[in-house]
Structure 1
């Protein structure tokens, strides 16, 4: 066991909901090894619950898309200056940035002259976008912690010190829900099909996906009148989701409490989800899924020229094939989404094929020595302080 005897300060940054969840697990794991640690920086409610003293709201950084970020440049620049100034002032023992590479990597570069140990947690996906960008990384961090097994080899071949620590999805309870409890609590008939809708939580995502989801549900309801659409979301995004469904003739059930979400996963017959970590959550819970996404058309044109991998969904990248159907951009269309979801709701063979693949993929994500991924990450960070 690694421990640090004296009181130390760790400065943390998370810029979106998934990073907040990851950061909360990391703080809890760090405190497991050293209860005296102090945590300062930027995060969301989950990190605050674990004792993070927050500098400014994490939501200010939750912007995605090349076009979508333009109106936010001035605000993001001010937030970057605030973060740098605080780090200069308090001189933490280590700075840990979690994902959000657009902001995190700029911050790491700005604080490089301070000679404070820097750890970046969640590798930038340059293996997907543009491998040549990796040339800009030497000197940005002292240690990179990656979540995916193939990333360690990728970054190591570029001379970057990288450690695979396992994927935090394995520490969640998403696969321990109770289907009967969910149906009873929400008065859903035993045979009524449940469809999870997972449009994401960012302000830039909801307006693009929700209108398509609305039309998809209307089409599905014609074939499955007793279909129950359910939207699991975070407490932070609940109000935004409610705003986006205010004119829906068929109102989905919105849930935001963790246990309710896990129970929904257990009860669900299928899911329509954006690409991202949600595909791994669903895979762990064995929920058959279709993956969709839509961005600004200009962003899409640029992205298609840059993307170097055959799939967008993480579950498909890890599986090495299209385990879950991907319907992106122009294929993010109500008729196509409806047909794909109907296949999952009516074809047991399609469901079994996905679920068998999920089991194999989840095994790949286990941390070294079968320890919890957050503990593996915490020990790597504590070794930086000790060194």
Structure 2
């Protein structure tokens, strides 16, 4: 298995639960993070080696990443596993899967790359690389099957893990927050490159929010290995004394908050499943942004907006992701309880749509691939 970032590690950990239940003697190894390790996964490399986003950002780490993939490919070809499961990270996994599949190793890709949103040309690589794709969203299998790619909708595991009614009071007690506090969760991303681009903007926005609403409390969950970088960014922004930086605990932070200022990615879906209003911000290097815009197929980048088919929450990207605009969008939520209630009802319906027995459905599909 290969999972290349915090969200993939979480998804892979849930998948391992299902496979371990079906095959108690399962041995799993490759590249992963702490959620996978907690299930007995043996990581030959840590996942943060692959946690890089953006064309320009990847170029800085290209030689190391390609070297890791080459070493992993050779090791798996020498000692073929029963199956290879690539969890998201398509730029790394699809080429690896294609090489393994050519040598007869069954390949499963967990999380359909968003070919419906951008880079549709990736579908040809998927046809060459994947024996089967496990899809998180209900519309994806039919799209893939049009291109001759076998796929199964397994639901989004987070929709079952996250409760329909989050314990906001309990989460606040766990973080030392009072029931009456006004709380904003700041999630600048789970990759070092995201912290570089987003944390200074988000923390500068937090200062402006605090000026408008002096009693507001801020919490930021830090992905493994990123706490020091987040704390440094907070100090540089002048927010060190007003920010509680957590070791992980992103779900606790989202359950506890009133609004979240959040970087685009899987975390936005988690926020939606916690029924939290959000402001999505994102920025990359200007060259990466220019290349991405050319290949983008939809008007939204945030998963809650994509799944709802409209802008239910604001997105502020690149030059629009300024502290002034970000802070104003957060303050707009805090001043509009009726708007918050409406988006919470929308997110409740979305969660029901995504709730499936993901562990069982995914394990059934994997078993069929292995035994074919």
TM-score normalised by the chain length of structure 1: 0.91
Residue pairs, 1:265-304, within 5 angstroms: 265-304=254-293
Q: Which residue of structure 1 lines up, in the alignment, with residue 41 of structure 2?
A: 52
Equivalent residue in structure 2 for 1:121, among 110, 118, 129: 110
Q: Establish whether residue 378 from structure 1 lines up as the match of residue 358 from structure 2.
A: no
Distance 1:59 1:263 in 2: 22
Give yes or no for the alignment of 1:204 onto 2:189: no
Contact 1:177/1:262 (<8 A) preserved: no
Q: 1: distance between equivalents of 2:323 and 2:89?
A: 30
Offset, 1:185:
4.7
Kindly indicate whether the alpha-carbon contact (under 8 Å) linking 2:160 and 2:355 is maintained by their aligned counterparts in 1.
no
Contact preservation (8 Å) 1:197, 1:229? yes
Supply the RMSD in Å over aligned alpha carbons. Answer: 1.7
Is residue 191 of structure 1 aligned with residue 191 of structure 2?
A: no
Distance 2:38 2:60 in 1: 31
* Structure 1 unaligned blocks of 5 or more: 1-11
Cα distance, 1:187 vs. partner?
4.2
1:333 matched residue in structure 2: 322
For the 8 Å contact 1:194–1:228, the answer to whether it is kept is: yes
- The 3 A distance-change label for structure 1 pair 269 and 159 is same
Report the Cα distance in structure 1 between the residues aligned to 2:172 and 2:76, rounded to whole angstroms. 49
Q: Distance between the aligned counterparts of 1:37 and 1:84, measured in 2? A: 21
Please state how far the C-alpha of 1:217 moved relative to its aligned partner: 1.1
Which residue does the alignment assign to 1:255? 246
SS of the counterpart of 1:207? helix
SS at match of 1:67: helix
Q: Which residue of 1 aligns with 2:66?
A: 77
Superposed CA offset, 1:156-208 (max 9, x none): 11111111111011232465653334444544344321001011110110011
The 3-state SS of whatever aligns with 1:38 is coil
Residue aligning to 2:352: 363
Report Cα offsets for 1:336-370 as digits up to 9, x if no partner. 11111111001112111211211122222133xxx
CA distance, structure 2, for counterparts of residue 231 and residue 263 of structure 1? 10
Question: Structure 1 pair 70/151, CA: closer, same or farther in 2 (3 Å)?
Answer: same
Give the alignment of 1:156-171 within 5 angstroms. 156-171=145-160
- Distance in 1 separating the partners of 2:129 and 2:70: 17
Task: Check conservation: 2:154, 2:358, Cα contact below 8 A.
Answer: yes
> Which residue in 1 is equivalent to 2:232?
243
Once the two structures are superposed, the pairs formed by residues 60-75 of structure 1 within 5 Å of their partners are: 60-75=49-64
**Structure 2 unaligned blocks of 5 or more:** none
**What is the CA–CA distance in structure 2 between the aligned matches of 1:121 and 1:184, rounded to whole Å?**
35
Assess if the C-alpha contact under 8 Å between 1:197 and 1:272 holds in 2. Answer: yes
Counterparts of 1:38 and 1:188 in 2: how far apart (Å)? 41
* Aligned partner (choices 206, 210, 214) of residue 203 of structure 2: 214
User: What corresponds to 1:315 in structure 2?
Assistant: 304
Aligned partner of 1:151 in structure 2 is 140
Alpha-carbon distance in structure 1 between the residues aligned to 2:321 and 2:70: 38
The alpha carbon displacement at 1:136 in A equals 3.0
